């Protein structure tokens, strides 16, 4: 871990010049605001498949305590949410310099997956929706909406970090933190139970963006409800089994309830009981206990799928039903199915960037799932080039219709069976349930 990490990688056609004015694709990686893997994303394939018609950019940003340590002390003597500010600095760099690589600063599409997609939504809603002309379109791939605390609610976290870093007795805790070796900071960059809970959350869900009344003026559900976001075309969607990577392998209702309590400590007993009623146990999946599938479905809906659907519905309301496109990835990989994780979080990355371009992913994209690769990549490239997934889509891909006026239609991305579908009524009801719980969950 190193605080000196704000670098960008630029992939550009070799023949591009300042006069080329090519569309720019800026990718913000995920990692739960706790880790980054910038070098794993290679833009060579997407540039080739675009006919050498785009410029591709990736960026690093500070994560963990270095990116999201919060307290009034930090606010008074520095900046909050610096991981997000790093991203905005990179976007400003793109505005100033991308023309030197053949890119058009007036045609920049930001795209993120997971926490990167969450970051995209923060940039859409930054400063209450103030448009700083940093981008003209956005793709939120499995947007991650965890708890969003206020600064006053994170003082315990700051104090614990100061103590673990050996700065508790220092007259100036922040000066002490700034002076010590990065290895000591890294050793203190670990999780602990949130107040009111008994168990640790996942490490990557510990240091998170906070409401700072500046960059982030309120919680994302409220900002999108009120239309406080930049009005640009957007693609957003999720995978069928978003929660399967993260859910606790629960054997009982009590374990499932405790799993949610660890992440959302303000949930009351009756609310936890209602979650158990809405998400009932089903047939046990391979290698998992009988309540795992319920915990997985509930967490996936609460943290990824329903935020994505909320983004779609509010953009349709406040911008245009024709400028928002939604999708569901349903690619069947035999290895994932055998492990009992279904169609997990961001499994489509190899199809977006090309197999072998991201340093991992199911091998089936080279074999029996290879047919979905040009379909997905074509939609993404078309949106980057034209702010619409259709004009430059793969020749055999169906037309992707927009979300619509309350209809809730989306593209099902599935090998040899890609087609439009409506969001099921039961799914809409579950998302209404999570929207209702959002204040208690601090989302």
Phi-psi region of 406 (alpha: psi -120 to 50; beta: other; left: phi over 0): left
d(CA 185, CA 190): 10
Backbone φ and ψ for 181, nearest 5 degrees, come out as -65, 145
d(CA 282, CA 298): 13
Retrieve residue 314's tokens: 């509010």
3-class SS letters over the chain: CCCCCCCEEEECCCCCCCCCCEEEEEEECCCCCCCCCHHHCCCHHHHHHCCCCCEEEEECCCCHHHHHCCCHHHHHHCCCCHHHHHHHHHHHHHHHHHHHHCEEEEEEEEEEECHHHHHHHHHHCHHHCCCCCCCCEEEEECCCCCCCCEHHHHHHHHHHHHHHCCCCCCCCHHHHHHHCCHHHHHHHCCCCCCCCCCCCCCHHHCCCCCECCCCCCCCHHHHHHCCCCCCCCEEEEEECECCCCCCCCCCCHHHHHHHHHHHCCCCCHHHHHHHHHHCCCCCCCCCCCCCHHHHHHHHHHHHHHHHHHHHHHHHHHHCCCCCEEEEEECCCCHHHHHCCCCCECCCCHHHHHCCCCCCCCCHHHHCCCCCHHHHHHHHHHHHHHHCCCCCCCCCCCCCCCCCCCCCCEEEEECCCCCEEEECCHHHHHHHHHHHHHHHHHCC
239-to-123, 348, 349, 412 alpha-carbon distances in Å: 23, 8, 11, 10
Q: 71, 114, 357, 364: which is the annotated catalytic residue? A: 114
179 given a catalytic annotation: no
- Residues marked as catalytic: 114
């Amino acid at each position: 871990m190193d605080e000196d990490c704000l670098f960008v990688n630029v992939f550009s056609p070799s023949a591009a010049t300042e006069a080329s004015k090519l569309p720019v694709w800026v990718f913000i990686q995920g990692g739960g605001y706790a880790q980054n893997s910038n070098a794993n994303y290679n833009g060579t394939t997407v540039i080739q498949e675009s006919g050498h018609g785009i410029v591709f950019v990736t960026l690093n940003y500070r994560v963990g305590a270095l990116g999201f340590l919060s307290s009034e002390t930090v606010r008074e003597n520095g900046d909050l949410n610096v991981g997000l500010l790093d991203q905005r600095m990179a976007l400003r760099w793109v505005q100033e310099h991308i023309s030197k690589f053949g890119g058009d600063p007036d045609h920049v599409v930001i795209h993120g997956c997971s926490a990167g997609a969450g970051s995209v939504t923060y940039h859409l809603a930054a400063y209450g929706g103030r448009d700083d002309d940093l981008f003209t379109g956005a793709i939120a791939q499995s947007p991650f909406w965890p708890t969003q605390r206020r600064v006053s609610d994170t003082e315990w976290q700051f104090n614990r970090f100061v103590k673990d870093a050996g700065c508790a007795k220092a007259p100036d805790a922040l000066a002490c933190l700034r002076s010590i070796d990065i290895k000591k900071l890294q050793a203190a960059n670990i999780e602990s139970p949130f107040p009111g809970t008994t168990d640790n959350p996942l490490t990557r869900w510990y240091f998170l963006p906070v409401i700072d009344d500046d960059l982030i003026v309120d919680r994302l559900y409220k900002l999108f409800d009120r239309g406080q976001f930049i009005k640009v075309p957007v693609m957003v969607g999720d995978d069928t089994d978003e929660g399967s990577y993260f859910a606790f392998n629960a054997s009982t209702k009590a374990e499932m309830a405790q799993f949610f309590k660890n992440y959302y400590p303000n949930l009351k007993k009756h609310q936890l009981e209602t979650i158990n009623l809405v998400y009932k146990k089903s047939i046990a999946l391979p290698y998992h206990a009988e309540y795992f599938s319920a915990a997985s479905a509930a967490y996936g809906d609460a943290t990824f799928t329903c935020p994505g659907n909320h983004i779609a519905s509010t953009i349709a309301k406040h911008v245009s039903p024709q400028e928002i496109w939604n999708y569901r990835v349903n690619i069947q990989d035999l290895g994932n199915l055998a492990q009992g994780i279904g169609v997990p979080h961001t499994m489509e990355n190899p199809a977006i960037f090309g197999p072998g371009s991201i340093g991992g992913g199911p091998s089936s994209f080279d074999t029996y799932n290879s047919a979905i690769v040009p379909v997905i990549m074509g939609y993404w490239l078309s949106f980057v080039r034209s702010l619409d997934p259709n004009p430059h889509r793969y020749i055999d891909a169906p037309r992707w219709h927009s979300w619509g006026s309350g209809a809730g239609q989306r593209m099902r991305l599935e090998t040899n069976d890609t087609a439009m579908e409506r969001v099921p009524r039961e799914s809409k009801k579950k998302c209404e349930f999570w929207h209702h719980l959002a204040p208690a969950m601090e989302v």
